[in-house]
Structure 1
Amino acid sequence: MTNTATAFDKIFRDSDGEIVLAEPPNPPLILWFAASLLELIFTTGKIHTGLDAVAFGSLFTWAWLEIFEGVNYFRRALGFCVLVAAIGSKIW
């Protein structure tokens, strides 16, 4: 019996062989969530603008880290999709 990795293994398993779809949030994701919640309170003005920049920057950072340091191909693809969506939301 050979020990070859299937496509499923390559996409969803980490280096320890565990299936990873979600992980505990890391600091950029926590910061994005907090800034996004505060944007609901401060809906106009310079504070809102600053919070929007912080939220975008932290989400961009999270996505970038997932693309290059994600534990499997699913997490890397997730990071790429979030990065495209975040940039797209600023363009449109």
Structure 2
Amino acid sequence: MELLFVRTEPVQEIAAEPATLDLLIDILRPKEDEPRATPELMTAARAMGWPLVYDATIRPGYVHCRPSNPDAVPPPSVEEMTEYFRAFMDAGREQPDA
């Protein structure tokens, strides 16, 4: 089975339908031999500490990295941050020197 990850910021939990989540848990479970991923990837994935959640409404093969609070506000996009800093810098140029 191919796993497709969907990320929605801020990530607070990992959710998938039961069979998909069971597969992911098996992949992340420590084993003597890790044929599917590098040790560095496995260590990083296990260190995250996000809760794993069964969600039968998600299509098989999809893993959602998502907020646990549905009202969580995602961080600003790159475009929003660029516009903010552009406006900030322009405002600083408009100030007369003291």
TM-score (normalised: structure 1): 0.30
Report which of the two has the higher share of strand: 2
> Highest Rg: 1 or 2?
2
Higher relative contact order (CA 8 A, sep 6+): 2
TM-score by length of 2: 0.28
